[in-house]
Amino acid sequence: MKQALPARVALVAGLHADARRRAVDRLLEAEPGALAIHHDLDRIGDGEVYRVLRDRWGTVERTRVDLVHSCVSCTLREDLVPLLCGLAERGEHSLYVVESWDTVAPRSVAEALTATVVDDRPVTAWVRLAGVATAVAADRLVADLASTDDVDDRGLSVAEEDDRTVAEVLAQQVEYPTCLVLDVGEGAGEAAGGERCTAVLLQLNPAALVVPPEREALAAMAEGGFDAEAAAARMDPATAQPPDSCEAGEVRTVTWRRSRPLHPDRLHRALDDVVAASLRSRGRFWLASHPDTMLAWDAAGASLSVEPCGPWLAALPDAAWDLVSERRRAAAALDWCAEHGDRCQCLTFTGVGLDARRLTEVLDSCLLTDEELARGYSRDEVGDDPFDEIIAAAL
């Protein structure tokens, strides 16, 4: 019987290829009429991409895909989306499982499958993204979140200038989906490690359900629906509202919230200690030297990225508020204080054995003192701002 449109699509991502492949295998077994689609990007640097189709019995087709520009976005736009639309039209399969490549971000695939226009029609006329999952291996999770390796060090880059770190890629893969498949293994030792990994995953992504790589759990994921806009809002440092604290065994998350500005020089000198304190930290913050600019903090492993992400709403005229999203206005309202508006420090840190008290003391020492606030911050008193170059380069 021909399947009705739109066809169900489930996306399975993950840096850990073996765990990801096992999750796809279990999903194919749970859905006998399912077809998996995987783009092998091992040789994308040489201009070669191979599309592999397989069902529960094995490989159905392996085809070289010729792209004008060999990149991930081209693969999505020029091959994956049109392929899925064509397969959906034929209606031969009950479910399409998109297995992404190791370092591909699930967000880029999910948004291609929900926001692309094909022949002047939305892609959602053909396909419905039913679920997004990231599969992780318990024996690699914490080590990879703490890793200082670049993806290129492991032969996993998907572009000539792919300077992302392994920790950065894994953190973003974990934080985006609503299902996390934890591949633990067998035995008491593995079970104990699984409990710690479950705590790490849930604290990095409280919106996700952590499941084992079993047919029933994966079939349930593929029966639901995925809201790409809500997922993007959770990832946006301007709108995220993390919990103040969470603790499970030795895994701890703490969110540092303050209203007064940070002193740029003191913060810059403390960066190494602050970043090293946790596996993962993220959020928004403001500097006394750049009072109108919201800054995004994104750290994984030993790598920190600081980027401007637009003005604070308090720096905008009232008429401009109508131009920002409802989610952004809601976040600003929650952060609002009479003295500084929505300007705030909101940084979340997650780690194993995290010393929250010490971390808080270091961060508090970087804030402007009462005396500095009273006389007003002056660039002339402190000399060069170590963040000027970082902010200017990103603008």
Q: Which domains does the chain have, with CATH numbers?
A: 7-235 (3.40.50.300), 245-394 (3.30.1220.10)
**Does position 129 have pLDDT exceeding 70, yes or no?**
yes
Alpha carbon distances (Å) from 216 to 32, 33, 269, 281: 13, 15, 50, 33
Higher pLDDT: 254 or 65? It is 254
Cβ contact 258:364 at 8 Å: yes
pLDDT at 271: 97
pTM, to two decimals = 0.93
**Does position 188 have pLDDT exceeding 50, yes or no?**
no
Task: Say how far apart CA 221 and CA 10 lie, in whole Å.
Answer: 8
**Does position 190 have pLDDT exceeding 60, yes or no?**
no
Q: Which residues contact 31 (CB under 8 A, 6 or more apart)?
A: 94, 95, 97, 219, 222
**Which 8-state DSSP code applies to residue 343?**
-
The token pair at 83 is 């392929």
- Identify the band that residue 383 occupies on the pLDDT scale cut at 50, 70 and 90: low
Task: Say how far apart CA 260 and CA 272 lie, in whole Å.
Answer: 22
> Please, what is the average pLDDT of the chain?
92
- Identify the band that residue 193 occupies on the pLDDT scale cut at 50, 70 and 90: confident
pLDDT digits (tens, 9 = 90+) for 33-91: 999 999 988 887 777 889 999 999 999 999 998 766 666 777 777 889 999 999 999 99
Q: Which residues contact 57 (CB under 8 A, 6 or more apart)?
A: none
The token pair at 179 is 């299902």
**Which 8-state DSSP code applies to residue 318?**
G
- CB neighbourhood size of 277 (10 A): 20
Residue keyed to tokens 């399912």: 34
